[in-house]
Amino acid sequence: MPGLGFTRDEIKQKIRKLKKLEVRIRCGVSGFSEQGLSERAKHASLVWDEFFNLNDSCGGKAKYSLKCLSVMDKDELKDVIGEFFFSVYYRFYKENGYVNTDLYDPELLAQLGLPYDADKNTIKKRFRELAKKYHPDTGGDSMKFIQLMESYRKLVD
């Protein structure tokens, strides 16, 4: 049974609207036809492509396939949409040089196994857990430790 009682076609339609919204937010383009896209919009790397795959296959680079979305309940879909919009606005702020110390890179947070809305204390706690695990002095992997340090510095600096 599809999530929220929507058919797969209705889910596809709603998810496609998110793509149009992202283009509007990030590129300032109100339409989404090939003729209406600005050069910036045509070449933009969309967050939507990283999140959604409207085919039934689970492969590819997208986090969520149509199959996954169709079995989610209302709260799960709400979380996916929240995560999507957080990522869209994060990318928009980053591209336009806006600095907001309350926002952390969702990709770096995901590398640490943290949710997109993690706060500074949660980040520190997770960093300490992983540092103990990967530190070479405790038998951990030195390359993973170095990657962890780089990710953490990017997040807190």
Q: What is the pLDDT of residue 1?
A: 40
Answer for the pair 18, 64: CB distance below 8 angstroms, yes or no. Answer: no
Q: What is the pLDDT of residue 43?
A: 59
Q: What is the pLDDT of residue 123?
A: 92
Return the structure tokens found at 2: 């599809």
Answer for the pair 6, 14: CB distance below 8 angstroms, yes or no. Answer: yes
pLDDT digits (tens, 9 = 90+) for 9-39: 888 888 999 999 998 888 875 555 545 554 5
Q: Give dist(CA 66, CA 53) in Å, integer.
A: 6
Q: Which residues of the chain have pLDDT under 50?
A: 1-3, 34, 38
Q: Boundaries of CATH 1.10.287.110 in the chain?
A: 106-156
Q: Domain 106-156: give its CATH code.
A: 1.10.287.110
Residue type, 86: F
Q: What is the pLDDT of residue 39?
A: 53
Residue 144 Cα to chain centre, angstroms = 22
Q: What is the pLDDT of residue 125?
A: 95
Q: φ, ψ for residue 52 (rounded to 5)?
A: -120, 140
Q: Give dist(CA 63, CA 60) in Å, integer.
A: 8
- The pTM is what? 0.69
